[in-house]
Structure 1
């Protein structure tokens, strides 16, 4: 059997933190096959792939590409070897066209000038060859998240990669977009491309991969043919025990008073063809989870900005307990009743260079000062208690940026819910989290609901929307095209919601 890649006994240490991210990790991928790389957050999957892409240098071990041992000292070397990676956080420039993004750094130059026509023709040919629903001259900022992901894949194909690595590629896709992605991956494999797929999702592992490597605690616990291992066995090997969602959603027994109301919220962009949000109205009540579903680029990002005070609407009114807060800043909203867990954990949710302790107290710093000075002992006691209660793997003085994604999310969650607020906004709360961390977040959300908070849940993960929500609002092109609850919600499927998210049903269609 000929292998596209073999990674043999890879060791990667970070002496400054004492972390061994990879400990004698080995895997092998046969040519023209799909390998799923699975494991909890912090298991070492992404680090191992960064070693393969030249973003990290291994301390020990060997990499073999197409039967030859190689040294991959940089991403440029990896690219020359035909290795490319689509990262979890897409690396595109919204202001550029599809062709400009695809060819960035690989531009065709004629007489010291960029040959724009040739660039666009080459990208158009690539798009047509792979049957992507894209136009080379389309602005990337106008695309859906699924289409942006296709642009990232095109970038790799333009560079003639033979080995394509995708990190959590379905994290924010609608159900129909996941199927479209899988169709693309199968077509690439048929053309001879080998693929490594980093994923937490058991059903996806079974649906798309030929081989499976499972990691735990920086080590590979097994390499398998996917057809020869069950989902339950995969779960046990990932975390050492079987996993199940098993959420208890008890009825809220308190008064369902209205906490928040939006009336006719519209957000327009200067020179924009259509509003980013158009006449959005809804209310949120104590003891409920109000879920918001939608594909990227259809208004949920703008809704998050407005609800969190980072943007203000062009028209409409926001009421908190009957009083207008439409023009309030984030600070004013927080001093009122808002808690906020953003989708962008590093950009908005934390200060990556600051310590765990400082990130935990930043919203309640007055409680930890006396005479204008921070009380170190009180901060340490509080921080250590939170780390224990939320099972956060980290130290008080450690920089947040050195933690895994799951631990950063639990830290932000702890900070925001330690002091109960009237309403809490979650945006993509389990993006990139493993099953265990996701279940932890879900139970905390339901605890908040049971304590009488109004929970606003923005998510593209339809499993969690359906499992957690008491009501669901679906967005398409900046409008609510579906609002369901009760029996209608109980009978709803991911396929039904996905059809509204993609505009196949809703206003102006037969399904309206």
Structure 2
């Protein structure tokens, strides 16, 4: 049977209580192409792919695989049809090995026992065939996030997937891992696979995709050929307006020191020094960016400032008051806001409503409680106001935080922290996994805090974000600040050199 598309989703409609997630969307994927699915956070991209993978059943529409109409009632049916999905939040058992995770639910047996050895051999072959370089006997908890993602890819290949769905695959990866993943995707397509790539990262779409289907607020906007478009056009189609990739801001007017860190030493979870004698000052009215390759002490530094990790030696001072090793709540009340790098672990209680999450830092104060009794009317009144003010897209303030898209979860955290008007706002990876519209909005909010005379500490792995938003940039390497540069007078090349432990170009010239 001849067919034009390996996947056809025609007129798909998916409705949840209070929201039409997919409204008559059509998606057509050709064999051997990387087809991007682009849209803002909460536009309905993941929902559409969850329909294709059998996790949701559509109210209307038809799915065809290789020209044949099919009913995909579960992920097992999807697997049987050659469809595999690599989820944004990995579905792995941490204390199992790579092989145990890959064969889970599909275990090969020999003489009544699970045959781990043969499975590991097959996984090793697949790993080598697609350039994945995964150790079949490694435990999940001992390998990097990028390597865990490769395990998810292997899991789909082991089950015979011909069509792979990647859901926001680069959201949690370092720049190096992103580069490696793009090479893997190209190799998969070269070997005859077809890929649907859910993303909102325009650079990656331009680099790796053949065609792109755009969804906006649950509706299909159209499909474009990548060779005939550019980033600006894609951004406009996605958001429905022109988007500025440059953060508009006036020059900083720094004032007094707000955060002062002296000779700070902090250990990591293994008891080794992650921050080693670090010095840093952040002033009112400026954004201080921290640039560095992941794992150079950024996480431990943030946790030490916010009271989540013990300081071994040195001091942390906030507006002249030493706060070293204070409890987290006391630090928060002293005037520190924290947008954490892991929104699920440290930012939200996922099973609480979005309204309850909005008052996590203030629920015990007036007007939200009196005499230990919560005033839910005031809680949800406040939440409703913040939801509107920060454009958090949710059916209502009573919706569980878990049900929101990643971008809207992030907006809710930022709404809560910015609304408290802290003297120091720590923003760690604030736009990780967000679309261009949401990134533009969040950058604007950080600059607003700066212009109100607040101190902002921005920690990000995205170099263009650090350069774009910061006034000064401190480069961290092996737990120490190796240099502080003016954001207007540096570039990615110079920062990259410093991040790798090199010297500034001027200094290199002087030394030559």
- 1:254 deviation in Å? 4.3
Contact 2:275–2:480, Cα closer than 8 Å, also in 1? no
The equivalences for 1:86-485 within 5 A come to 86-261=86-261, 263-270=263-270, 275-365=273-363, 366-368=365-367, 369-376=369-376, 378-394=378-394, 395-475=396-476, 478-480=478-480, 482-485=482-485
| Structure 1 residues not aligned, in runs of 5+ | none
For residue 7 of structure 1, what is the aligned residue in structure 2?
9
Instruction: Quote the RMSD (CA, aligned, Å).
Output: 2.9
* More displaced 10-residue stretch of structure 1: 66-75 or 397-406: 397-406
Q: Distance in 2 between matches of 1:348 and 1:315?
A: 24
- 1:114 deviation in Å? 4.3
Match of 2:58, SS?
coil
Residues 253 and 484 (structure 1), Cα distance of their counterparts in 2 relative to 1, 3 Å cut: closer
For residue 64 of structure 1, what is the aligned residue in structure 2?
64
- Summarize deviations over 1:333-361 as a string: whole Å, max 9, x none: 21222111123333432233333332222
- 1:275 deviation in Å? 4.4
* More displaced 10-residue stretch of structure 1: 123-132 or 39-48: 123-132
Q: Distance in 2 between matches of 1:184 and 1:113?
A: 34
- Summarize deviations over 1:299-321 as a string: whole Å, max 9, x none: 43344433332332455543334
Q: Distance in 2 between matches of 1:24 and 1:204?
A: 27
- 1:108 deviation in Å? 4.0
Contact 1:263–1:317, Cα closer than 8 Å, also in 2? yes
Match of 2:360, SS?
helix
- Summarize deviations over 1:34-54 as a string: whole Å, max 9, x none: 101011112111100111111
Match of 2:6, SS?
strand
* More displaced 10-residue stretch of structure 1: 80-89 or 112-121: 112-121
- 1:27 deviation in Å? 0.5
TM-score for both structures, normalised by structure 2: 0.88
Residues 98 and 376 (structure 1), Cα distance of their counterparts in 2 relative to 1, 3 Å cut: closer
- 1:470 deviation in Å? 2.8
Residues 13 and 111 (structure 1), Cα distance of their counterparts in 2 relative to 1, 3 Å cut: same
Residues 85 and 108 (structure 1), Cα distance of their counterparts in 2 relative to 1, 3 Å cut: same
Contact 1:471–1:483, Cα closer than 8 Å, also in 2? no
Q: Distance in 1 between matches of 2:36 and 2:443?
A: 25
Match of 2:359, SS?
helix
TM-score for both structures, normalised by structure 1: 0.88
Contact 2:254–2:283, Cα closer than 8 Å, also in 1? no
Contact 1:174–1:498, Cα closer than 8 Å, also in 2? no
Contact 1:175–1:498, Cα closer than 8 Å, also in 2? no
Q: Does 1:45 align with 2:45?
A: yes
Q: Distance in 1 between matches of 2:228 and 2:286?
A: 42
